[in-house]
Structure 1
């Protein structure tokens, strides 16, 4: 976990985020605009063979889900390029006060692999958008030696028709522990059951500012929206400590996968402000049967999320 000597790193990371988006009291530092829903997760029979975790034993488990846009500015329109990648965070309520979270986004990979690279990346972005003296040089210098970060920034991310019709990638590796002690390392992915669909470029200017929330409300009024939770197992040679390297999930290089279960998103939270403020999702919130891997970004995200939440008010 983050040590005392790393507290300055956390402060610098949060400062860079606020320099980019501003500090909006009461809102998350990133993914500030979102919508909360409730539903149920039911594990597939094979899931229990991979993990002894309570939510993977086959009984329906209540979940709280938050879909979100990337931007740290709450007023960012849903069709804006800064709204991507989209976020999907889930709290599995495993009973007796226990719970575990998965936090994923709609881009396959993270821009960097380490905490120090993350700081340099964010500070470069902050410098390039400074309202007083924008300076693109730090970001360009960083991107010149970090092609994955450049790929992350420059890849076109068209807005989705719905939060529920795109893939979401849990970019960090985790370890599932079975009842017999067998360990399996991999990454989560959420796969829509509805046909994947994005908005053509010529339609983007016509999108309403909150069209994704409106679409989700209308969709759920017709019945639950469903997604599969998949665990993509690490292959030989895969670097489980580097979330910037995607693992293929289709084609001849696709990694072996296991469907863990199906998520049914059933209804929006009645009080969105309260539901969002009470939901502090964190990828390091684990329960027995799920363990950290060697990915250094999960402990960092854990500490940074906590710091950001403490400053939100």
Structure 2
């Protein structure tokens, strides 16, 4: 995946990377955001409905291998799991697809976090938020920026487990059917075990590694199951602004089930090299016009190259 040729986009992504490191500290070989995490493996089995909405391979094959990375917020790789700054949590999903005709490895990813909110529409606006955070003037910024204020005020309770948390794609995507029909969706992941949070007092008594320990123990006892859903946009719904949410009344369909059954070997090394891509880049799934997607893709690639070089 090449870096974008758009000079403004690339410059903003580089500034975001630098400011994130200023905010959390510089940790060579680590991500500037959602640094602490764990990489897992499993399979994805799609529903018949997924195949009707998209011609993509992973929505039409009986089973597709996946990697899943759960993570804490911030760029601090040692942040405690019971630290309130560790929310929202993150989730990256990689669908490992058959090799292309020329023998190249193929995959597509979904990047999510545990709140449906995002504070800004563009990368440039998010850079402005980081500047105010570093300068200590975020309190002056928020009252005049309702989207950022909504993100800050949104509840972000700690989960009892990575496997009992909901995750949201925030941005919209296009699912493209075999006949060319386009459906705008937003992804959501829900746990089959149900969502459960830890109250603030109980969280203080939790171990700093409680989420890491929990997910390892669960998988040692059997697969962890999560459902991939799609909220479907209706005519007139905004699809190019991640700060605008669709009504809860919009139809939600189940796209498939993820069964996570293994902690990846050489975990730290694999986390260092894997670069999740917010843009699908496969037939049957396409990005919307949300400007945050290209910015996130550029930022993730910069981060990945830095990690691999460290």
In the alignment, what sits opposite 1:132? Answer: none
Deviation by residue 1:168-194 (Cα, 9 ceiling, x = unmatched): 000011101111111111111001110
Tell me how far apart the structure 2 counterparts of residues 215 and 248 of structure 1 sit (CA, whole Å): 34
Q: Within the alignment, does 1:45 sit opposite 2:45 as a pair? A: no
Tell me how far apart the structure 1 counterparts of residues 201 and 140 of structure 2 sit (CA, whole Å): 33
1:2–1:299 contact (8 Å) kept in structure 2: no
In the alignment, what sits opposite 1:181? Answer: 180
In the alignment, what sits opposite 1:61? Answer: 64
SS in 2 for 1:46: helix
Q: What is the Cα deviation at residue 23 of structure 1? A: 1.1
1:112–1:244 contact (8 Å) kept in structure 2: yes
Q: What is the Cα deviation at residue 195 of structure 1? A: 1.9
Q: How does 1:162-201 map to 2 (within 5 A)?
A: 162-201=161-200
Q: What is the Cα deviation at residue 77 of structure 1? A: 0.2
Which residue, out of 271, 275, 286, partners 2:270? 275
Q: Within the alignment, does 1:20 sit opposite 2:28 as a pair? A: no
Tell me how far apart the structure 1 counterparts of residues 37 and 142 of structure 2 sit (CA, whole Å): 29
Tell me how far apart the structure 1 counterparts of residues 247 and 272 of structure 2 sit (CA, whole Å): 35
Tell me how far apart the structure 2 counterparts of residues 44 and 182 of structure 1 sit (CA, whole Å): 18
SS in 1 for 2:212: helix
Unpaired runs of 5+ residues, structure 2, are 100-104
Q: What is the Cα deviation at residue 218 of structure 1? A: 0.9
Deviation by residue 1:235-283 (Cα, 9 ceiling, x = unmatched): 233211111123344xxxx211221100101111122112212211111
Tell me how far apart the structure 2 counterparts of residues 16 and 142 of structure 1 sit (CA, whole Å): 17
SS in 2 for 1:238: coil
Deviation by residue 1:12-57 (Cα, 9 ceiling, x = unmatched): 2112111110110111110000001000000001111100000000
Q: What is the Cα deviation at residue 126 of structure 1? A: 1.9
2:120–2:242 contact (8 Å) kept in structure 1: yes
Tell me how far apart the structure 2 counterparts of residues 145 and 236 of structure 1 sit (CA, whole Å): 30
Q: TM-score, normalised by structure 2?
A: 0.93
Q: Within the alignment, does 1:310 sit opposite 2:305 as a pair? A: yes
Unpaired runs of 5+ residues, structure 1, are 129-135
In the alignment, what sits opposite 1:120? Answer: 128
Tell me how far apart the structure 2 counterparts of residues 108 and 6 of structure 1 sit (CA, whole Å): 24
In the alignment, what sits opposite 1:73? Answer: 76
In the alignment, what sits opposite 2:212? Answer: 213
2:273–2:304 contact (8 Å) kept in structure 1: no
In the alignment, what sits opposite 2:102? Answer: none
Q: What is the Cα deviation at residue 2 of structure 1? A: 5.9
Tell me how far apart the structure 1 counterparts of residues 269 and 288 of structure 2 sit (CA, whole Å): 33
Q: TM-score, normalised by structure 1?
A: 0.92
1:120–1:142 contact (8 Å) kept in structure 2: no
Q: Indicate the larger mover: 17-26 or 2-11.
A: 2-11
How many residue pairs align between the two structures? 300
Q: Indicate the larger mover: 65-74 or 274-283.
A: 274-283
SS in 2 for 1:246: coil
**Considering only aligned residues, what root-mean-square deviation do their CA atoms show, in Å?**
1.3
2:17–2:299 contact (8 Å) kept in structure 1: yes
Tell me how far apart the structure 2 counterparts of residues 109 and 161 of structure 1 sit (CA, whole Å): 21
Counterparts in 2 of 1:200 and 1:149: CA distance versus 1, 3 Å: same
